[in-house]
Amino acid sequence: MAHTCIHWFRKGLRLHDNPALMAAIKDCKQLYPVFILDPYLHNNACVGINRWRFLIGALKDLDGSLRKLNSRLFVVRGKPEDVLPKLFTKWKVTRLTYEYDTEPYSLQRDSKVTSLAKERGVEVIYKVSHTLYNIDRIIEENNGKPPLTYTKLQAIAKTIGPPKRPIPAPTMDDMKDVKTSSSENHEKEYGIPTLEELGLDTAPLGEDLFPGGEREALRRLDEHMKRTKWVCSFEKPQTSPNSLSPSTTVLSPYVTFGCLSVRTFWWRLTEVYRGNKHSDPPVSLHGQLLWREFFYTASLGIPNFNKMEGNSVCTQVDWDTKPDYLAAWREARTGYPFIDAIMTQLRQEGWIHHLARHAVACFLTRGDLWISWEEGQKVFEQLLLDGDWALNAGNWQWLSASTFFHQYFRVYSPVAFGKKTDKNGDYIRKYLPLLKKFPAEYIYEPWKAPRSIQQAAGCIVGKDYPHPIVQHEVISKKNIQRMKLAYAKRSPESPSKSKGVKRKAASIIEMIKKKAKVK
């Protein structure tokens, strides 16, 4: 039977290594590639203007690539469980395909949509391609528990073997019997909206440093993979949080939106490594992709992963509620130039280096401000181009020493840390031009500069730039004691003290599997 198919793009905004799209094309006469602007996911609290621009760019690129295959992208708005049944009827759909997505919201959404599809006789096929492995399998291999250490994850990955090889993008030959019927009204009914049409304020947008889209992703991947020596000697801790141009790949936004397949990334690295001496996980680039896998597995296996309460592996901490401190951190007004420069880069450009994320996350939580990691997570979710539910939650727990990492007495100094890789403070001068005339001696601590130097720099601390919000030396010591207390309160049976947690979240995953065809 020749099918009429909807391929539902959500993440996975690409044609290469897209097994669910290939499943849609198989035995298909009519293909409708659909993207849904879902008010739950696509709202201004979750998506900042930089990320909106990235998404719209990625959709345009996808539409361009589909057009080359004589197809089109159909963008619709609304709740998927409302929108899709209407489209099933309108287009007489017989098959729905999509990429497996393990976020709790996505699992519930997909479960609902799958039921609605089945009720209408629509076959549902989904495929794993957002992660290197089927992470359900990793959990199964670990006796139903998500591995809580990287070493354990690595050991399981080893027993499973290398990730599946990516599959090529569909060709004109694959599409020879497939049509996409679009009307003259397509732009009006199903076109990709502009940022203005979405009612977004584009005034804060700066240069588009990381344009969205699969073609840009593959171009950037190619560029990096040409640098054999750099790739082979890559060691994450040796990269710099405050270089003026990024010291790591910045492929994360492309991986998050699925413009770049993580398996393509993995296998391209394997090719570069072949025959060469190279670094290894956890510090290598392969190692970075395994970190991603680690947090994805944890996020699927640990209920309430993005919260402290109800999260069985997370240390319960009596974080303070200090809206003025939180606002100062978010708005780059802490009075610590290194922290404020990072938060400015985040707001302006949507990407900051991993160790810069360390510095500001530690500062907000256990280091200085004693504000819950959940608050930081929300700000990152909105401002990061690569905002990813699992990675954001997992890394915030790590940095706040709530889960995975327990050396809470190791605190980043908001002054000394940045100096290690940027003595002259060029990074601060770039993002906080107000401070650019301070001599290197004072650029990290302008409040220590004599009045005459502040005057000569044209910036008076307390008037033009704030005094430090807290005294790091004093507060960080107090906070270490508070953290010690929180650790002491953890019950001996607390799963966060043992090696793993029993998985309770299986029900939704199993529900979906029963309803959809797992391939």
Binding site per annotation, positions for FAD: 248-252, 288-295, 386-388
CB of 11 to ligand FAD, least distance (A): 12
Give the tokens for residue 92. Answer: 């007489």
Which residues contact residue 483 at a Cβ distance below 8 angstroms, ignoring those fewer than 6 apart?
A: 317, 366, 401, 408, 409
16 vs 358, which CB is nearer to ligand FAD? 358
Closest to ligand FAD by CB, 353 vs 472, is: 353
DSSP for 109-138? HHHHHHHHHHHTT-EEEEE--SSSS-HHHH
Buried-exposed string 320-355: b where 16+ CB fall within 10 A, e elsewhere: eeeeebbebbbebbbbbbbbbbbbbbbbbbbbbbbb
Please report how close the Cβ of residue 60 comes to ligand FAD at its closest, in angstroms. Answer: 22
Output 28 or 356, the one with its CB closest to ligand FAD: 356
Q: Which residues pair with 217 in a beta bridge?
A: none
Amino acid at 459: C
Nearer to ligand FAD, 134 or 180 (CB): 134
Residue ranges binding ligand FAD (CB under 6 A): 236, 248-252, 255-256, 285, 288-289, 291-292, 295, 353-354, 357-358, 361, 380, 384, 386-388, 391-392, 395-396, 399
In terms of CB distance, is 338 or 438 closer to ligand FAD?
338
Please give the structure tokens belonging to residue 345.
């880069």
Is 340 in contact with 432 (CB distance < 8 Å)? yes
How many beta carbons lie within 10 A of that of residue 208, not counting itself? 13
Both tokens of residue 179?
A: 């049509």
Reduced to 3 states (helix: H, G, I; strand: E, B; else coil), residue 227 is coil
| CA–CA gap between residue 223 and residue 217 (Å, rounded) | 10
| Best CA proximity match to 495, nearest among 152, 143, 147 | 147
Note whether 23 and 519 are within 8 A (CB): yes
Q: Which is nearer to ligand FAD, 357 or 429 (CB)?
A: 357
The tokens describing 259, both together, are 């413009």
Q: Left (φ > 0), alpha (ψ -120 to 50) or beta: where does 370 sit?
A: left
Smallest gap from Cβ 68 to ligand FAD, in A, equals 27
Instruction: Work out how close the CB of 292 gets to ligand FAD at its nearest, in angstroms, rounded to a whole number.
Output: 4
Residue pair 386/246 in contact (Cβ under 8 Å)? The answer is: no
List the binding residues: 248-252, 288-295, 386-388
What is the nearest approach in angstroms of ligand FAD to the Cβ of residue 515? Answer: 29
DSSP H or E segment with residue 8: strand 3-9
* Least distance between ligand FAD and beta carbon 239 (Å): 7
Q: How far is the CB of 178 from ligand FAD (least distance, A)?
A: 32
Return the number of the residue (5 or 355) whose C-beta is nearest ligand FAD: 355
Asked if residues 179 and 31 have their Cβ atoms less than 8 Å apart, the reply is: yes
